Structure 1
Amino acid sequence: FWVTDLLHGERLGDGIPAIGTMLSEMVPPNFTRWQQWIRPMFDTIAMSVAGTALAIILSLPVAFLAARNTTLGPITYHLVRLFLNAMRAIPELIMGIVFVAAVGFGMLPGVLALGLHSIGM
């Protein structure tokens, strides 16, 4: 058998009370500050709708280039397929981090990450 150093009994024992504390703070939920959640919830919904709209707009021309019977040639077909596979393979979170580094904080990096990832689907 392989001997690994993944589980430490004392560390696991120290973490169990922290799990209990976290669960006790989750139940029952505290809705006293719900007014502070409204704006971030709408921002999240707006970002996902804008990312989906961007994906729809960009995926329509890309779909014709990715189809074997409507593309300009085999090189274009394979390059577009490679691009779509890359967009699908890179997680949205990684794309989001790259876009935050490129354009700064805000909703734009999230919209770009969701939109580009959704093109590959």
Structure 2
Amino acid sequence: MKTLRMLSTWLMVLVCLSLTTTACSDDDDEEDLSGSIIGTWQHENDEYIEIMTFNSDGTVQMTIKTYYNGQWNSITAPGIYTYEKNIITIKMDGAEQVIHGIVKSLTATSLTIGNEEEGLTETTYKKV
């Protein structure tokens, strides 16, 4: 149980980092919100791979994969989400923290989420 709690904590930390440290946006960019958030989205960087699956019933599953000591390690956690007027809110099962983001762009193949508290940072996911 202690291991599961620690893994869940790391999952939330990695998700928050991905929503706050990926890239800076230009405030003059026009938003494209023509796609559907339903489906599986993936973001990769040098440290981890993040996969989010948004279901039409308001559930979400997040998986973080890290490469350590020559092997891939995965943490998967279920949760719930809401998506209204380009605001996404995610609450993972067993976590106290709620993640808030602004959907800056959503097409059939790309999802860009900006951090609500850190208005200039964005993370872009590709549909898989």
TM-score (norm 1): 0.32
Higher helix share: 1
**Structure number with larger C-alpha Rg:** 1
Higher strand share: 2
TM-score (norm 2): 0.30
